[in-house]
Amino acid sequence: MVREAEGLPVRRAAVGESALVYRDSNPFDDFGLALSRFGSKLGLTQFEGYALIYHLKLKQDDRAYFIRRTLKGAVKFQGLSARALELAKKEMAKPDFDLDALKRLYSQRDKP
């Protein structure tokens, strides 16, 4: 939540939520990192990056993940923000971080 001096509090509207004011922005400015390059930005493989995305539930965080679909519903673009990288770096810095366990869990997940 952001508060301008003496103004009303302002926050980002959730998906599907009504708002008094909408600011048009280019999502590629905020979510420019393709999912396939996430791992390499962290010194990981692509698969390890996907496992970390899954573990951190980044696709459920609208400040970390953006998806654009075609009119028929196919995925056109999926992007991650700087917030996603920040969350991943914090997770990787934890003393109990176990990348091998994350990879096993990601391999065993229920696939849609």
Q: What residue type is assigned to position 45 of the chain? A: T
Tell me the per-residue pLDDT of 12-45, one tens digit each, with 9 for 90 and over. Answer: 677 777 776 655 566 656 767 889 999 999 999 9
Q: What pLDDT was estimated at residue 63?
A: 87
Q: Reduced to 3 states, what is the DSSP secondary structure of residue 33? A: strand
| Run of H or E including 36 | helix 35-41
Closest CA to 11 of 68, 58, 63: 63
Q: What residue type is assigned to position 12 of the chain? A: R
Q: Reduced to 3 states, what is the DSSP secondary structure of residue 76? A: strand
Tell me the per-residue pLDDT of 65-106, one tens digit each, with 9 for 90 and over. Answer: 988 889 999 988 899 999 999 999 999 999 999 999 999 999
Tokens of 29: 């400015």
